[in-house]
Structure 1
Amino acid sequence: MFSEQDRDNIAWFWRNYLKSKTPWLFVVLGMITIQGVVYQQFLSLTEDGLRVIFDSGAMSDLIEVCAIVFGLFTTRAIISYLIPRLSVRLASDAVMKLRRDLIDHLMTLDLAFFERTQSGEIILRLVNQAQGLSLFVGQATVNAVRDAATVIIVSGYLIYKSPLLFTAALIILPTILLLLQHVSAKIKEVQATSENAMGAYMTGIDEMSSGMRTVKIAGQEPIERERLVEATKNLRKLSIRLQSAQAVVVPAIDMMAAFVYVLLIGGGGYMVLSGSFGLDGAGIIAYLLGLVLVFDPARSLASFFAKLQANLIILNGVRSLHREKPTIFDRENAHTDFNTDGDIVLENVRFSYDRKHPLFDDLSMRFEGGKVTAIVGATGSGKTTVLSLLTRLYDVEHGQVTIDGTPITDLKIKNWRSSFSVVAQDIVIFNSSLKDNIRYVRPDASDEEVRAAAEAAEIAELMDARGDKPLGPKGSQLSGGQKQRIAIARAFLRASPILLLDEATSALDQKTEDKVKHALNRLSKGKTTLIVAHRLSAITHADWIYVLDAGKVVEQGTHKDLLAQAGLYAGMYGAQKKSYR
């Protein structure tokens, strides 16, 4: 019923999230035990009450039995209220810690993980699966322990009353175990498929929501609807298959229980009639009532084990995030101090997203400290990837990247990345105020500093107009140019010694671009500045320009030198110049 991986996952969850709560778990277990004892005492008192009715007929004895039974069930009712309150709190605390650990772990993972993993899968793990585990551990598992305690305690009493009858009842046990083993494999298979389908479904919703502008303009609403409806139908089929696999357990056990009841009624009746087995009418009635008290929780327990298989898949899905290991991390003895004014050099670098097709092979570039260096080239030539390697979003496969002769892999990642201010083409805007979006890169910045940055980026007027109004999901209430100016304002606010501009003015009109270019020139003064641009008019002032083509440096020099070479750069510049006329 449990694979090696299942046992390992259960041990991991217990060790990290439940073991510390052992004292409280013992309190819950104690209350559950009391509930089981209440049922056992109820059987004993029922048998006594029946004898009072059948034999002595004393009303006072009957009243006493009824009063004790009422007291017992009042006690059980109080405990039944306390157990879920406490167990849900314990489970919620455990899952909160699990979610916190997952979030902490996610923050350590490389950019490559997020680029290859669907957003729906991450949401599924953090939201649906974590919540499902909380409900299962806090409610279903506690109820199962209660049912198990009831079965054990009441069975012990029944064995004490008649070992022979109880042995006859156990005739169905092997059949139940075989049934559970058969159903378990089926449930795990369907649940795993269902979880994958749910992750893909969530990703589809995210893609549809993010791309709604394109969907509307292209008039593709029917296609999006059909895609999501088809995914919904698939989830429905999987849900029905899962419920069908689980549903067979309870009625099968009911049929087996019916067989046992018939066997015990016949056999128990014979034992009472014969008079040689120490059982009377009250005893056999109480015994049959005891079997009801055993079979009902036993049936629930069997249903729990069926659902457990599905939750083991969920647990494995949650833990799969923990199994992801970062490949970019601080090396032993990495240091924090380095010369931010030094030259940044790529030496014989090899890198690939797909190992069969390397993007860079023996690439060498130098970015002089305190100067402006530009990288230009066609789409896919590797311009933005160079910036990713410099900031250690990816590590090179061969060669090295250094600053002032020190390999950047010998530096603390946090300190190295804090030396960069970045204005990238993929701008992240949060659903908060414009001021808060600028302050994101420096949470401790004063209002005066934020305003100065906004003014430098030509967006202060919009910031004043919007006030504290949120900008919408992913900045949906802003134009592309406004988003880009927020990114530029962040760069002004962060004011790090190395400035990376990745298509920093691509979404600006000519008039605004001229204003922002002057501001960026002021910002880059005295800093090591790297510019990636398609629009060559934005980099004519650069101290040095690299021209990339298919991952190789094909030309380099100043703007004037490259025009004189009459090569690829000169051709690109001439073509763009004509388009401006």
Structure 2
Amino acid sequence: MSDTPSKKRQPLYSEADKRNMRWFWQGYLRKHSGKLVLVLVLILVQGLVYQQFLAMTEDGLRVIFESGAMRDLIEVCVVVFLLFAVRGVVSFLAPMITVKISNQAIYEMRRDLIGHLMSLDLAYFERTKSGEILQKLVTQTQQIGVFVGLGVAGALRDAVTVVVVSGYLIWKNPILFVSAIVVLPFIIMVMNFVSDRVKQAQGEAEEALGGYMNGIEETVNGMRTVKIARQEEVEKDRLMRGTDAIRRLMNRVQVTQALILPSIDLSSAFVYVLVIGGGGYMVLSPDYDVDGAGIITFLLGMVMVFDPARLLAQFFGGLQSNLVLLDRVRNLYDQESSIRDAEGAKTAFDTGGDIVLKNVSFSYSPDHPLFEGLNMAFEGGKVSAIVGSTGSGKTTILSLLSRLYDVKGGDITFGGTPIRDLQVAALRGAFSVVAQDIVIFNASIWDNIRYVNPEASDAQVWQAAEDAEIADLIRARGETPVGPKGAQLSGGQKQRIAIARAFLRDAPILLLDEATSALDQATEERIKSALARLTKGKTTIVVAHRLSSIADADRIFVLESGQLVEQGQHAELLAENGLYARLYQAQKKGYDGR
């Protein structure tokens, strides 16, 4: 006997599916209940048109076969034409309304998703592929919208058609109709079979598509390195492997869905044989009051039932795929930010007070602690610098101060107020930041500077640009966009935009993370006086690699592997002849040797 457990068949609609459908209905569709009722009425009209068409067809056939009156035949033709004119108008109005409803629902869903996304902490974005986020906000929501707008309206129309026409056929000949639906259990079995496989394959396809989109983004963003390293073929092969995986998975989805139609066609053929054979017997037998017109009409009715039934089957196959998409979109709400305001958090605090780290512990992963019992104090209104080797935790301290991450132990206070007692928005509003990782938008330099303070006057923007030594470049470029991620700018120009932003924001606490790392020494000297004006009277914390740039700091903290190993002023640290002195001498020797 095999030890392999048998695979348990999943229910057609899982609890998660039902929960997600309730969420979508209650959040985005229920408010449009009045319009949806109107759509249902229009669809019922369509169904009645079909029923009346069958009745008129039977009357027309009897005119042809029996009475032969031309006037009666013309009347039947006119009525049939009017019926289909009504159906044409209704067929336009119903999907038009549902498309508008679905587009509004998807707009609101994206609005809510974006709002929730903006509330998540930095850790979520660092562990989540950007391709996955793009999928949720763009492709998956759009596919759901198209399905709801057109697919659901069509499915309702088909379902009503099946019910109304089937009811008419039962009324006309219940024995023949019951004989014709013996294939229904087989159709249900096929639908269950297809649903299981579509869900599984669609989930795998979405995973592959997310990885593929992330790979494209990585390749595009790193194209400079790709070109220099001549790795075009490597990247091409990598992306083509992702393309091939998506092709194979989508083949599985679509081939599985394709099983539906031939199965129903085969069932239809069986039904038509039963109707023709059984109906023919009823016409020939004196025991039944059935004529040729009735059987032809019944056959036409069965065609009108099975055609929408085929479309309904396709709809339910597509529904399984869209339930997978809905689940993935809905799962974004399972992500919650760990950075939240405490109850009664303060909006005001002493922005000029000392910033103190008390016994701070922190780690990005439990297995690799970065800080354990770290103690530091940055004096209010003074310039403090943090130096150390790569990975020592310099930038992490700035992230903890601005609550991009929360400490695992200990506390951080601002003017004696614990950081957790402050509203996050108020805390971050007290900072101006010049970071080495500069976000530049594909807009003009002017707009990039103004981004941090949209309400600033033109004079304020020009002053910030002058202070950062980038006003001449603005005059030269005008309104010309700087390219995606500032591709048309040098590293130094990007950093001067960041410095100009700090001037324009003019917050009481200034964080400089490698603020001049991309500037040559001549440019650094030119803006040194501007930086001095920027830091005057503010609590300034500088993370620097170039130690000569922080020689005038009021206090310098030296980190090594997450531990504070030295602190003091420049001259004091040189006299100690410790790590700082060794780093300084090594850099000085490097500059002198050029």
Would you say same fold, with TM above 0.5? Answer: yes
d(CA) in 2 for partners of 1:459 and 1:55?
Answer: 94
Q: Which moved more, 1:467-476 or 1:234-243?
A: 234-243
Determine the structure 1 residue equivalent to 2:489.
Answer: 478
Deviation, structure 1 residue 84: 2.1
1:450-529 to 2 correspondences below 5 Å: 450-529=461-540
Alignment match of 1:313 (pick from 324, 337, 345): 324
d(CA) in 1 for partners of 2:273 and 2:45?
Answer: 31
1:246-395 to 2 correspondences below 5 Å: 246-395=257-406
Determine the structure 2 residue equivalent to 1:430.
Answer: 441
Q: Which moved more, 1:272-281 or 1:549-558?
A: 272-281
1:172-211 to 2 correspondences below 5 Å: 172-211=183-222
Deviation, structure 1 residue 404: 1.1
d(CA) in 2 for partners of 1:237 and 1:201?
Answer: 14
d(CA) in 1 for partners of 2:239 and 2:412?
Answer: 45
Deviation, structure 1 residue 517: 2.2
Determine the structure 2 residue equivalent to 1:129.
Answer: 140
Aligned to 2:375, the other structure's residue is in SS state strand
Aligned to 1:358, the other structure's residue is in SS state strand
Which AA in structure 2 matches 1:441? V
Q: Which whole-Å deviations, capped at 9, do the CAs of 1:287-323 have from their partners, x for residues lacking one?
A: 1110000000001100110111111111111112122
Q: Which moved more, 1:546-555 or 1:50-59?
A: 50-59
Aligned to 1:396, the other structure's residue is in SS state coil
d(CA) in 2 for partners of 1:290 and 1:400?
Answer: 77
The runs of 5 or more residues in structure 1 that have no matched partner are: none
Alignment match of 1:20 (pick from 26, 31, 45): 31
TM-score, normalization: structure 2? 0.97
d(CA) in 1 for partners of 2:20 and 2:504?
Answer: 46
d(CA) in 2 for partners of 1:467 and 1:154?
Answer: 68
Determine the structure 2 residue equivalent to 1:533.
Answer: 544
Alignment match of 1:544 (pick from 548, 551, 555): 555
d(CA) in 1 for partners of 2:340 and 2:179?
Answer: 63
The runs of 5 or more residues in structure 2 that have no matched partner are: 1-11
1:391-406 to 2 correspondences below 5 Å: 391-406=402-417
Is 2:112 the counterpart of 1:106?
no
Q: Which whole-Å deviations, capped at 9, do the CAs of 1:260-287 have from their partners, x for residues lacking one?
A: 1111211111122113232211111111
Determine the structure 1 residue equivalent to 2:7.
Answer: none
d(CA) in 2 for partners of 1:69 and 1:524?
Answer: 84
Deviation, structure 1 residue 521: 1.3
Deviation, structure 1 residue 452: 0.5
Q: Which whole-Å deviations, capped at 9, do the CAs of 1:14-54 have from their partners, x for residues lacking one?
A: 11111101100111111111111100101111111111111
Task: List, as ranges, runs of 4+ consecutive aligned residues in structure 1 with deviation greater than 6 Å.
Answer: none
d(CA) in 1 for partners of 2:296 and 2:473?
Answer: 83
Q: Which whole-Å deviations, capped at 9, do the CAs of 1:33-84 have from their partners, x for residues lacking one?
A: 1111100101111111111111111111111111111000000011112222
Deviation, structure 1 residue 327: 1.1
Q: Which moved more, 1:469-478 or 1:80-89?
A: 80-89
Q: What root-mean-square deviation, in Å, do the aligned CA atoms of Structure 1 and Structure 2 show?
A: 0.9
d(CA) in 2 for partners of 1:459 and 1:224?
Answer: 37
Alignment match of 1:85 (pick from 90, 93, 96): 96
Determine the structure 1 residue equivalent to 2:72.
Answer: 61
1:114-125 to 2 correspondences below 5 Å: 114-125=125-136
Deviation, structure 1 residue 510: 0.4
Aligned to 1:547, the other structure's residue is in SS state strand
Determine the structure 2 residue equivalent to 1:143.
Answer: 154
Alignment match of 1:153 (pick from 164, 167, 171): 164
d(CA) in 2 for partners of 1:278 and 1:519?
Answer: 102
Determine the structure 1 residue equivalent to 2:9.
Answer: none
Determine the structure 1 residue equivalent to 2:5.
Answer: none
1:227-246 to 2 correspondences below 5 Å: 227-246=238-257
d(CA) in 2 for partners of 1:25 and 1:277?
Answer: 44
Deviation, structure 1 residue 500: 0.2
Deviation, structure 1 residue 217: 0.9
Aligned to 1:421, the other structure's residue is in SS state strand
Alignment match of 2:55 (pick from 44, 53, 56): 44
d(CA) in 2 for partners of 1:118 and 1:389?
Answer: 23
Identity of aligned residues (%): 60
Alignment match of 2:42 (pick from 27, 31, 37): 31
Alignment match of 2:459 (pick from 423, 442, 448): 448
Is 2:567 the counterpart of 1:567?
no
Aligned to 2:542, the other structure's residue is in SS state strand
Which AA in structure 2 matches 1:308? L
d(CA) in 1 for partners of 2:192 and 2:294?
Answer: 36
1:208-227 to 2 correspondences below 5 Å: 208-227=219-238
Aligned to 1:353, the other structure's residue is in SS state strand
Aligned to 1:350, the other structure's residue is in SS state strand
